[in-house]
Chains A and B, each alone.
Chain A
Amino acid sequence: MLYELTAKEIKALIEKKEVSAKEVVESYFQRIEEVENKVEAYLTLCREEAFKKAEEIDEKVKRGENLGELAGVPVAIKDNMCTEGIRTTCASRILEDFIPPYDATVVERLKRADAIIIGKTNMDEFAMGSSTENSAFKKTRNPWDLETVPGGSSGGSAASVSAGEACMALGSDTGGSIRQPASLCGIVGLKPTYGLVSRYGLVAFASSLDQIGPMTKDVSDCALMLNVIAGKDERDMTSVLFDKPDYTSFLGMSIKGVRIGIPKEFYKEGIEEGVKQRIMEALKTLEDLGAKIEEISLSYADYALATYYIIAPAEASSNLARYDGIRYGYLTENYTDLRELYMKTRSEGFGREVKRRIMLGTYVLSSGYYDAYYKKALKVRTLIKKDFDKAFGKVDLIVTPTSPTVAFKIGEKAEDPLKMYLADIFTVPVNIAGVPAISIPCGFSDGLPVGLQIIGKPLDEPNILKVSYAYEQASGYYRLKPNI
């Protein structure tokens, strides 16, 4: 079936004129018809636009024109990235009918590469959550076990790729929102170095932490997609100017002599036994491939989650102040003055977790608490970043589990915010430090996927991809698909 192929395979078939882009899109929409009522990965499907784009690509093939790097590849976009003319909700009532007048830079670049956008995926409202249960519209289910969550906040993107409803997807990651759902759904997810990918057109959550990245079936596709989306953008002043390599060129290189650090603080407690075993086996495989494993210390890692839950809500409370019901988005019905308009619009438009974080952020920034909380967290951020700098003086990469557990039951953590926050304990330090990290499948525990997190130095995506590819080819776990 065409929907089972990777982006690399699809592109090759289209170039050889063995299949048409239209056939690929048909295969995907047929698959969506079959499984979407079980998985519920999408908030909006773009059937018409997708077939139109497919026709354009097929015309190009007929005329013998050059094709883009992702020609004919069906891509799903997390619903917090602006798509011109296509509803972009952030899974929030407050943006329920928002139709962006422009494309996010990443969307523009995907279109230019001849990718086909087939839909917008479900997520935790404003990307705040780790299970996609905070969506105002629907609950997405994990294709490996429909009773469990797909992770979050990019749960719709992860589930769509895992279930074969999209060939690849874009996610965004503020504290683990690409890597944790990738881990729980058994796919590959990369959070690039902060600044590698433009955030223009990404609905802002915590601007100093947010980063867009690929969610794909395998490491090759991850490199392919990164080639398309990475690079300096004039419209995002925090995007970095650097010599962009061809990320696919590092795949297949030997990993002999690569130094891999295991932070002892991460392997202490709270990791499920099955997850721990898979990670140990993965380290053994990496060692067999020639990597050198050594213990390192990230002494402030224990404080990363607390730091995150001050910085992220603080930035969110400021970013989300823009939702006033006036220029776009939901507007309340009856009001007499401006303050009532704001209060009613925001109270009716935002969900429970979003309100919780806005208030937490407002509190830590408020007069009298700013120094004790916000400034303190920024200082600890310095220490966490120095920790990583020091570790990377000794090793090339750091390996940890992506998530301490496999996918949990829907509803299991929904009533206890702090318990839910702990799902991100291994992913959050990476955003705090701004370094890149990937999650790749490394086996199963109780029939559910386990993810291996590989963290690199700033801009060292090449090393991450090289080692990920070597492991992936040696282990073969990426070939296993959920039976749905």
Chain B
Amino acid sequence: MISKKDVEHIALLSRLSLTEEEKERYQKELSSILDYVNKLKEINTDDIIPTAHVIDLKNVFREDEVIPSMDRDKVLANAKEKQNGCFKVPRIIE
């Protein structure tokens, strides 16, 4: 069983804020899912190489050709806050 403090820590790392009720629910649900996945511990994987990707890809190269980028207006079209052709964000550096 993971603790409520664990849930709060993961939520912060995930940039999610949870209500008290959500914290309790996720504590229960995440614990039961983790209990289930813990069955992997039954398998001895000492000398096994991990597979991150099923295709054995080496570096994929292409020619470095200059092609036009997307129009600035198009790039900004979906942003809620913008100014002078830029995305606008809250002040980060004091």
| Interface residue ranges, A against B (CB under 8 Å) | 97-99, 101-102, 194-195, 208, 234, 237-238, 240, 300, 303, 306-307, 309-310, 317, 321, 325-329, 331, 335-339, 341-344, 346-347, 350, 355-356, 358-360, 362-363, 366, 373, 375-383, 385, 417-418, 421, 433-434
Do B33 and A194 touch across chains, with their CB atoms under 8 A apart? no
A356-B70 Cα distance, complex, nearest whole Å: 35
- Which among B30, B36, B55, B91 is the interface contact of A434 at CB below 8 angstroms? B55
Instruction: State which of B32, B40, B60, B81 has its C-beta within 8 Å of the C-beta of A307.
Output: B40
- Across the interface, do B14 and A327 meet the contact criterion of CB distance under 8 Å? no
In the complex, the answer to whether A359 meets B14 with C-beta atoms within 8 Å is yes
Contacts of A326 in B (CB 8 A): 79, 81, 87, 89
Complex alpha-carbon distance, A328 and B6, angstroms: 31
Q: With the chains together, A377 CA to B77 CA distance in Å?
A: 40
Query: Does B26 contact A359, Cβ atoms closer than 8 Å?
Result: yes
Per the bound structure, the CA–CA distance linking A346 and B17 in Å amounts to: 8
- Find B90's partner among A321, A337, A362 (CB 8 Å cutoff): A337
Is there contact, CB below 8 Å, between B29 and A356?
A: yes
Contact mask for chain B residues 40-65; partner A; CB cutoff 8 A; 1 contact, 0 none:
11010100111111110100101000
The 10 closest A-B pairs by CB, nearest first: A434-B54, A378-B50, A328-B78, A379-B45, A331-B80, A379-B48, A306-B37, A101-B74, A342-B15, A382-B51
Q: A347-B17, A378-B50, A417-B29 are in contact. Are A303 and B39 (CB under 8 A)?
A: yes
Give the distance in Å from the alpha carbon of A366 to the alpha carbon of B48 in the complex.
Answer: 22
Contacts of A377 in B (CB 8 A): 37, 40
Q: How many chain-B residues does the 8 Å CB contact rule pick out? A: 50
**Any A CB within 8 A of the CB of B11:** yes
Chain A contact residues: helix, strand, loop or mixed: helix
**Are A99's CB and B62's CB within 8 A?**
no
Sample of 14 further A-B pairs with CB below 8 A, known A326-B79, A380-B43, A382-B51: A317-B14, A326-B87, A338-B92, A343-B17, A355-B26, A356-B26, A360-B30, A360-B33, A363-B2, A375-B50, A377-B40, A379-B49, A383-B48, A417-B32
Contacts of A306 in B (CB 8 A): 36-40
In this complex, what residue of B is CB-closest to A373? Answer: B37
